[in-house]
Amino acid sequence: MPVRSKDNFLVFGSPLVGQEEIDEVVASMKSGWLGTGPKVARFESHFAAYTGAIHAAAFNSCTAALHLSLVALNLKPGDEVITTPLTFCASVNAIIHAGATPVLADVDPVTGNIDPECIRAKITERTRAILPVHYAGRACDMDAIMALAREYDLRVVEDCAHAIETRYKGRHAGTFGDFGCFSFYVTKNVVTGEGGMVVTRSEQDIQRIKVLGLHGMSADAWKRFSDEGYKHYMVVEAGFKYNMMDIQAAIGIHQLKRVEECLVRRREIWGMYDEAFADLPIGIPAPEEPDTRHARHLYTILVDEAECGVSRDRFLERMTKENIGVGVHYLSIPEHPYYQQNYGWKPEETPVATRIGRQTLSLPLSAKLTDQDAADVIQAVKQSLGA
């Protein structure tokens, strides 16, 4: 007998959606204003207030947010941007689409975050920027990264897709670099279905990014159909179609109000997992570093076949048979054929990320989980190891 029945499959990353979100979406539908409008503006200002950022601009994904931030760096062909191999492909693809060359620096074996010493080793004459990812919600070593950026005159774009609640020495992730990019994809800590946000200190950059995110049309072009009356817009750059809709912001506004409450719940589940797994042969996440706040986006375990007697991929299958949804974050970037063929990257060149990528597995951690759900996950882990 599996731990759960098939019709009770525990979906990985299923979000907690409240009645407030549902009502707000319905209100948007009834108002007839579905596209970019006042709710997007409200979501941006609430998000800026929450993170302590000076400016925030919402888009239809974090991938879009990363792309726009990198375009705003005015990179030229041959310019290099250093990022981590232990990330979602979007971090790397955004660098490529901005016309630059991605360069990988290996991660720290304990944190899974980009290792500042590995960054230093990859800096060349052509390096222009660093793109750190706060992996699983754990803050990167921002003092060391920003010190490198100052020393070598590099720009910094923080990938905060996992890091909405993350803090480092009292400051919010995303507010250290030139840009911070957040995701509201369905599995993330705050969801809008699809959605993303750029935060920055620079008034000039946020204006340019907003223009680039809406076809390159002059400022506030989204208002061209509002009750202020039709105004001509001017196309000032070849932009993209990356704007967020009010329907998405309607969800985000209420999700953001509950962000701290949901973190409290995920911390509880995290504690249950830590306790239950302490004596098992699997690797569990390290405690959060002093003077940081971990956003608890992913609870990742490491399955080393030599220790556990089962391979990670076999373990994934067993969890699925127990009707528990699992994820992998991530097979390291050099495992994928595109990057091997176009950049010549080999997994063994970033060995720590490769090892983690081959052993890691993410367990359900949504604030929606009941104590019983968490107990089922724990039992399924034990059975998958023992069986």
Ligand X SMILES: *Cc1c(COP(=O)(O)O)cnc(C)c1O
List residues with catalytic annotation. 188
275 CB-near residues (< 8 Å, 6+ apart): none
Are the beta carbons of 245 and 36 closer than 8 angstroms? yes
Helix, strand counts (H, E) of the chain: 14, 12
CB of 9 to ligand X, least distance (A): 22
Residues 70 to 129: which contact ligand X by CB under 6 A? 87-88, 90-91
**Three-class SS state of 222:** helix
The strand pair at 292-293 and 167-168 is best described as: antiparallel
Token look-up 């595109």 returns: 338
Do residues 195 and 248 touch, judged by C-beta distance below 8 A? yes
Stretch that binds ligand X, among 12-20, 48-56, 58-66, 165-173 (CB under 6 A): 58-66
Residue 182 CA to residue 173 CA, distance in Å, equals 10
57 vs 380, which CB is nearer to ligand X?
57
Q: How far is residue 374 CA from its own chain's centroid?
A: 23
| Smallest distance from ligand X to CB 376, Å | 25
- φ and ψ of 299, to 5 deg: -95, 105
Measured on CA atoms in the order 162, 165, 169, 172, is the torsion positive or negative? Answer: positive
User: Contact with ligand X (CB under 6 A): which of 70, 105, 133, 199?
Assistant: 133
Decide: 297 and 137 in contact? Cβ < 8 Å: yes
Place of tokens 């223009």: 211
Residue carrying structure tokens 């800096």: 123
**Closest distance of CB 173 from ligand X, Å:** 12
In the complex with ligand X, the residue whose CB is nearer, 91 or 243, is 91
CA angle 9, 13, 17 (to 5 degrees): 95
Helix, strand, or coil here: 340?
helix
Residues in binding contact with ligand X, number by CB under 6 A: 14
Question: Cβ closer to ligand X: 92 or 302?
Answer: 92
Provide, rounded to whole angstroms, the least separation between the CB of residue 61 and ligand X.
Answer: 3
The amino acid at 9: F
Whichever of 191 and 301 has its CB closer to ligand X, that residue is: 191
Q: How far is the CB of 140 from ligand X (least distance, A)?
A: 12
Q: Find the binding residues for ligand X in span 147-206 (CB under 6 A).
A: 159, 161-162, 183, 185, 196
Nearer to ligand X by Cβ, of 140 and 148: the residue is 140
> Which is closer to ligand X, CB of 174 or CB of 318?
174
Closer to ligand X by Cβ: residue 63 or 323: 63
**Among 30, 62, 85, residue whose Cα is nearest residue 196:** 62
The single residue among 36, 51, 61, 366 that binds ligand X, judged by CB under 6 A, is: 61
CB of 158 to ligand X, least distance (A): 11
Q: Pick between residue 236 and residue 328 the one whose CB is nearest to ligand X.
A: 328
User: Of these, 56, 57, 62, 98, which contacts ligand X (CB under 6 A)?
Assistant: 62
Q: Specify the DSSP class assigned to residue 109.
A: T
Helix (H) or strand (E) holding 305: helix 305-308
Contacts with ligand X, residue ranges (CB under 6 A): 61-63, 87-88, 90-91, 133, 159, 161-162, 183, 185, 196
